[in-house]
Amino acid sequence: MNIKKIGIATTALLLCANLPMQTHAMAAESKQVYATKAESKLKNSQEEGQGSFSDVTDYFSVVPGKSSSIEKNMVTITPNRPSQAGGLWSDASNKVDLTKNFHLKADLFMGTDSNGADGMAFVMQNDPRGTTAIAGNGGAMGLYGDSYIKNALAVEIDTYINDGTEFAEKWDYNVTPKNEHIAITVPGVGPIIEHNALNVLPNGTYFEDSEFHEVSFDWNAATKTLSYNYRGYTGSYQVQSLQDTFGGNEVFFGFVGSTGQRSNLQQLKITELQINGISPELALEINDTKGNNNGKAEPSETVSVKNMISNATDDATAFKMEYGVDMDALFDADTVSNIVLTRNDGQTYTVTKEQLLNHQVELPFDSPTNTFTLTYDVQVKADASPKGTMMKVSGIGKVNGVKYTSENSIKLAIPGDSPVITASDKTLKKGGSFDPMTGVTASDTEDGDVTGNITVTANDVNVNQEGTYHVTYSVTDSDDNTTTKTITVTVTSNDAPVITATDKTLKKGASFDPVAGVTASDTEDGNVTDKVTVTANDVDTSAVGTYHVTYSVTDSDGNTTTKTITVTVTSNDAPVIVASDQTIKKGKAFDVMAGVSASDLEDGDVTAGITVTANDVDTNTVGTYHVTYSVTDSDGNTTTKTITVTITSNDAPTFTTSDVYLKVGDKFNPYAGITASDTEDGDLTDRIDIESSDVDMTQAGTYAVEYSVTDSDNNTTKITRHVYVRTNDKPVIHASDQTFKAGASFDPLAGMSASDTEDGDITANVTVTANDVDANQAGTYHVTYSVTDSDDNTTTKTITITVLTNEKPVITAADITQKAHRSVDPMAGVTASDLEDGDLTANIKIIANDINIDVPGDYHVTYSVLDSDGNETEKTITVTILSNEAPVIHGQDVTFKAGKAFDPMAGVTASDTEDGDITSTIEMTANDVNPDVAGVYHVTYSVTDSDGNTTEATYTVTVLTNEKPVIHATDQTLAYGQAFDPMAGVTAEDLEDGDLTGSIKIISNDVNPLQAGIYHVTYSVTDADGNETQITITVLVGAQPVDPVIPADPETPMHVTPAPVQMADPIVSSVSAPDPIRELPKTGDTTTGNTILFGGLFAALGAFLLRRKK
């Protein structure tokens, strides 16, 4: 039986066993507590960098023939492809002894897609298949099903969210809710698998977050308990019997995982491993042999190194460690000496310098209590520097592929550092100039640059004579430390001449001049082409083959140069066209010559001679097309080649955005105001990536942000969005219109101010550029101000000055809207003021008020106030009493195809007469929609306004299957000879694609309007999902009209009794759109045409029926 859990991808960690009746799994509340002090020490040392893997292939191998792979310490259990299964097992020689504690730590990568599947598992197993044990993909997780891993125990990390089907429910037995989870299981055929030590992720959380996370697994041998700790989730499971569970004390261990219809990249890196009680501890000491530098060593001084290697546990099986040392480059590794290696039982070992430095020292731990002491001496290099450098020595041990490291350092001390001369050996040409100080410098730790103190103490250079010479420099610092350095100066002879000649290719029978195009030059002599001689030439142009010509030339200094070229004589081959099939998206440009080239053995590149002899490519229509190329070489040989060009309909995603305008110092969110969508994938905004951004909000300027988005077909679209960061704003003038009575004084600058974002208060810079105010004359006047900030930004503002006569007071009162049955205070917020008297609110009187708060409607309140000049003002406001109405939910029924994403809140809003938009308070009280299963569902919404009025609304959600298109065509009746258009009135439509009339094809049509009979036309149309619909209509053609014959009157009247006529069964034709019916003739009229038509039709029908009976 093939177990499939559709879409599930799980990674399981297995302890393989037949667990008959196991004890209950116990969820642990904290990390595994180590049983011995030695194990605790192991954990501490490993946290400091001990026990690390650099290459798991030293210890593990993947299941052969499956999808897993190893790249050093990176293990890929499943690639990001569907229907994969893979695994990683320890080697047969590295089984785990379960009578001893076991510890493994790894970093897991569960994938990038929260909708992916199925997961991984850690496994301990004793399956007869050993390192080839693996189960099926999908829901089997490489663990369960007919080929399940036997004699095993597993920790599964299941990344599939159960789809609610009965089959899936069995697989996720006792998992509530049916989310991603981690549990300890006993592998079996299934589908019901008991989940022990279960931890279920909350809704909306996933293991697949595109990051590595640490996981640890621990086996407590004393209690026979397996524990896990992953991302804060812990659990443990106790085994009753090792024999019943695993079939013995030793097991393989490793990881398996799978993908199903959904996929994910699932990887891991093993970081810590302790098996069979092996827990090495390393220590290293380093000291200067003089003992007088307090942890320091001088150049040329010998230091002693002591390495101590032991095992922290007392139950380890016998093992061997490969050991060696790495040391800082300031130590002279060649001086390693006095190597002594002893074991605590008195055993001594011989170790060579090469073994120590190449990590080839073998430490045999015959007993877990063995301790090794390794000592040796090494010298600091004589030229070690700079002073104060910490010189490190590392001791590195390796057991079963696991590395353990200890290290220590000693500081470099340089008493009385001498200065350093920097000078390099030089090579000169004979006769050239030489300055011994060019490029020579000197520096000292204390004095700095002492180049000016350098002296040349020896110099035997003769630039006119070839040879090797020396220059010696000396410099002394302020502490009288002297350094000397000698460099070598080499004077060389003149360069040899150069022959320029290239290989040649000739056609068979062509002429050949060996010196054509051959030149020679010399640095001193110039052009020496006339001195070139041909010293060898075996070219035969009458035979195809490879030949050689050798040239020689000698310059005036006696330097001779030779060069040999190859001459190839070829046959006359036809040219070759290089052109590949192409796939182009619909609407994209197509360059018929892009990437096309041609070459000829004799003519070389003949691309320019290519012609296109055929090209039916239409980039606006999806389909397969062809382009044929032709090229002819200089010998008249012609080659043609045809390529296939496929136009596909897959559109790339698109961006919706606009440029951004900001001020210096504003915050810029590059993801705000930009969206992406794709014809197939819909909204891709959450997949937008920023490729580059140079935005600097601290500097004004124009910047660019480049975005990219990739759809599920790997079509990538990029867009550049500009961000304009502006300089400072203009200053602002604060001045308001003024009103005062005629005769009052007026100061245009009173109460006016100006401010600037950068300059602050700049009121003192304001100037009045216009002022026509006459304070003694009533009227309307204007004052214009101007101010300029330090950035030369100028602002002007004009205010209106109104000079009044004796004005009436002003009542300020606004219309009131109140809900029914609530009190209304007509004086609330009502004030009165007068230009001369000031506040007159206390003098307001209500002279009319018809408000009824219990009856909705419009009412009025009229106020009156009198100033000290006897001016009276009245004002009437409207008071609206509202009914207390319930809110309204706005939405509509939704129809979409199965498998599409569904957001129940999309497009749903709510409003209330009093509260306005209350969409944010909508609650969804019921939702049974399953977007993956076709059917009719319902979503119920509820909303309550601020008055406690609640409204509910239910909308229907229809999830469609992939329906076929529909063709609308009806049977037709034609008169003899009547023109027939088979597409007239024929249409097609599809639930998803809409109007498909333009895609209709006629696949059969036997209609003959000149022959009476019954015919058929068959139509076909296919929608975008590949669903095809066919329909056949019947076309009836009438008989040819016959002119009527008028019979002669009989001489003797005849009385004929008509015989009964046997009528055939009527033929019923569904005609939904017959030809227009003529107007009926008036009584007494005759319609010969109709008589002939219908007579012909019945004759044709009779003939047809008789033919069919035969």
Q: Is the alpha carbon torsion for 526, 531, 536, 542 positive or negative?
A: positive
Is there a shared CATH topology between the 420-492 domain and the 654-726 domain? yes
Facing residues of 470 across strands? 488
Fold annotation for 576-648? Immunoglobulin-like (2.60.40)
A 10 A CB-CB count for 1097 gives: 18
pLDDT of residue 361: 97
- Which position has the higher pLDDT, 42 or 164? 164
Q: What is the pLDDT of residues 1052-1065, one digit of tens each?
A: 444 434 444 343 34
Q: Return d(Cα 144, Cα 158) in angstroms, integer.
A: 13
pLDDT of residue 399: 84
Q: What is the pLDDT of residues 1019-1067, one digit of tens each?
A: 999 988 888 999 999 999 998 876 655 555 554 444 434 444 343 343 3
Q: Return d(Cα 637, Cα 577) in angstroms, integer.
A: 12
- Of 251, 268, 322, the closest CA to residue 58 belongs to 322
Fold annotation for 966-1045+1066-1110? Immunoglobulin-like (2.60.40)
Q: Is 975 exposed, middle or buried (0-12, 13-18, 19+ CB in 10 A)?
A: middle
Could you tell me the end-to-end alpha-carbon distance of the chain, in angstroms, rounded to an integer? 58
Least confident of 273-277, 376-380, 557-561: 273-277
Q: Return d(Cα 649, Cα 342) in angstroms, integer.
A: 76
Pull the structure tokens for residue 816: 């009131």
Can you spell out the DSSP letters for 369-410? Answer: T-EEEEEEEEEEPTT--STT-EEEEEEEEEETTEEEEEEEEE
- Of 954, 975, 1098, 1104, the closest CA to residue 1040 belongs to 975
pTM score, whole prediction: 0.37
pLDDT of residue 266: 97
A 10 A CB-CB count for 150 gives: 19
One-letter amino acid for residue 26 of the chain: M
Under the banding of pLDDT at 50, 70 and 90, the label for residue 1087 is very low
Task: Determine the CATH number of domain 888-960.
Answer: 2.60.40.10
pLDDT of residue 53: 57
Backbone angles phi and psi of 841, in degrees to 5: -55, -40
- Of 392, 403, 359, the closest CA to residue 284 belongs to 392
pLDDT of residue 139: 86
Q: Return d(Cα 173, Cα 162) in angstroms, integer.
A: 11
- Of 617, 667, 614, 610, the closest CA to residue 638 belongs to 610
Q: Is the alpha carbon torsion for 734, 737, 738, 742 positive or negative?
A: positive
Task: Determine the CATH number of domain 654-726.
Answer: 2.60.40.10
Q: CB-based contacts of 874: which residues, under 8 Å, 6+ apart? A: 811, 847, 862, 863, 864
Q: CB-based contacts of 89: which residues, under 8 Å, 6+ apart? A: 60, 61, 62, 63, 130, 131, 133, 252, 253, 254
- Of 716, 645, 712, 654, the closest CA to residue 681 belongs to 712
| Planar angle of CA 323, 327, 329, nearest 5 degrees | 150
Q: Return d(Cα 399, Cα 363) in angstroms, integer.
A: 10
| Percent of residues, the chain, with pLDDT higher than 70 | 87
Backbone angles phi and psi of 833, in degrees to 5: -140, 155
41: three-class secondary structure by DSSP: helix
Q: Return d(Cα 456, Cα 338) in angstroms, integer.
A: 43
Q: Return d(Cα 820, Cα 880) in angstroms, integer.
A: 9
| Planar angle of CA 595, 601, 605, nearest 5 degrees | 35
> Which CATH architecture group holds 498-570?
Sandwich (2.60)
> Which CATH architecture group holds 810-877?
Sandwich (2.60)
Facing residues of 690 across strands? 707
Average pLDDT score, the chain = 85
Q: Are 929 and 939 in contact (CB under 8 A)?
A: yes
**Average pLDDT of span 590-610:** 91
A 10 A CB-CB count for 814 gives: 10
Q: Which helix (H) or strand (E) holds 71?
A: strand 69-71
Can you spell out the DSSP letters for 930-961? Answer: -TTS-EEEEEEEEEE-TTS-EEEEEEEEEEE-
| Domain locations along the chain | 12-274, 280-412, 420-492, 498-570, 576-648, 654-726, 732-804, 810-877, 888-960, 966-1045+1066-1110
Q: Return d(Cα 366, Cα 317) in angstroms, integer.
A: 8
Fold annotation for 420-492? Immunoglobulin-like (2.60.40)
pLDDT of residue 272: 83
Facing residues of 709 across strands? 717
Whether the pLDDT of residue 39 is over 60: the answer is no
Q: Return d(Cα 639, Cα 603) in angstroms, integer.
A: 14
Q: What is the pLDDT of residues 510-551, one digit of tens each?
A: 899 999 999 999 887 889 999 999 999 999 998 889 999 999
pLDDT of residue 93: 79
Q: What is the pLDDT of residues 78-106, one digit of tens each?
A: 999 999 999 999 988 778 899 999 999 99
- Which position has the higher pLDDT, 250 or 1085? 250
Q: Is the alpha carbon torsion for 160, 164, 167, 172 positive or negative?
A: positive
A 10 A CB-CB count for 275 gives: 26
Pull the structure tokens for residue 1085: 């009229």
Q: Are 1023 and 1038 in contact (CB under 8 A)?
A: no
Facing residues of 942 across strands? 923, 952
Q: Return d(Cα 141, Cα 405) in angstroms, integer.
A: 37
Q: Are 619 and 594 in contact (CB under 8 A)?
A: no
In eight-state DSSP terms, residue 18 is B
Q: What is the pLDDT of residues 934-955, one digit of tens each?
A: 899 999 999 998 888 899 999 9
> Which CATH architecture group holds 12-274?
Sandwich (2.60)
pLDDT of residue 1047: 53
Residue 1035 CA, distance from chain mean position: 58
pLDDT of residue 585: 78
Can you spell out the DSSP letters for 427-486? Answer: EEETT----TTTT-EEEETTTEE-GGG-EEEEE---TTS-EEEEEEEEEE-TT--EEEEE
Task: Determine the CATH number of domain 732-804.
Answer: 2.60.40.10
In eight-state DSSP terms, residue 29 is S
CATH class of the region 280-412: mainly beta
Whether the pLDDT of residue 605 is over 90: the answer is yes
Q: Are 1098 and 1042 in contact (CB under 8 A)?
A: no
In eight-state DSSP terms, residue 706 is E
Under the banding of pLDDT at 50, 70 and 90, the label for residue 1110 is very low
Q: Return d(Cα 49, Cα 397) in angstroms, integer.
A: 12
- Provide the residue count of the chain: 1110
pLDDT of residue 651: 77
In eight-state DSSP terms, residue 130 is G
- Which position has the higher pLDDT, 428 or 1037? 1037
In eight-state DSSP terms, residue 157 is E
One-letter amino acid for residue 960 of the chain: L
Q: Are 439 and 424 in contact (CB under 8 A)?
A: yes
**Strand ranges of the sheet holding 1001-1005, from the earlier edge strand across to the other edge:** 972-974, 1028-1037, 1013-1022, 1001-1005
Q: What is the pLDDT of residues 799-823, one digit of tens each?
A: 999 887 777 899 999 999 888 888 9
426: three-class secondary structure by DSSP: strand
Under the banding of pLDDT at 50, 70 and 90, the label for residue 316 is confident
A 10 A CB-CB count for 920 gives: 8
Whether the pLDDT of residue 372 is over 90: the answer is yes
Under the banding of pLDDT at 50, 70 and 90, the label for residue 573 is confident
pLDDT of residue 32: 32
Q: What is the pLDDT of residues 692-727, one digit of tens each?
A: 999 998 888 899 999 999 988 888 999 999 998 877
- Of 407, 405, 341, the closest CA to residue 372 belongs to 341
Pull the structure tokens for residue 1078: 């003529």
Q: Estimate the share of the chain in helix, then strand, then coil, as percent rounded to the nearest 5.
A: 10, 45, 50
Q: What is the pLDDT of residues 583-597, one digit of tens each?
A: 887 788 899 999 999
Under the banding of pLDDT at 50, 70 and 90, the label for residue 478 is low
Q: Are 326 and 307 in contact (CB under 8 A)?
A: no
Whether the pLDDT of residue 4 is over 50: the answer is no
pLDDT of residue 38: 28
- Which position has the higher pLDDT, 375 or 897? 375
Pull the structure tokens for residue 982: 């088979």
Whether the pLDDT of residue 764 is over 80: the answer is yes
Q: What is the pLDDT of residues 891-946, one digit of tens each?
A: 999 988 888 899 999 999 999 887 889 999 999 999 999 998 889 999 999 999 88
Q: Return d(Cα 472, Cα 491) in angstroms, integer.
A: 17
- Which position has the higher pLDDT, 756 or 50? 756
Facing residues of 521 across strands? 498, 527
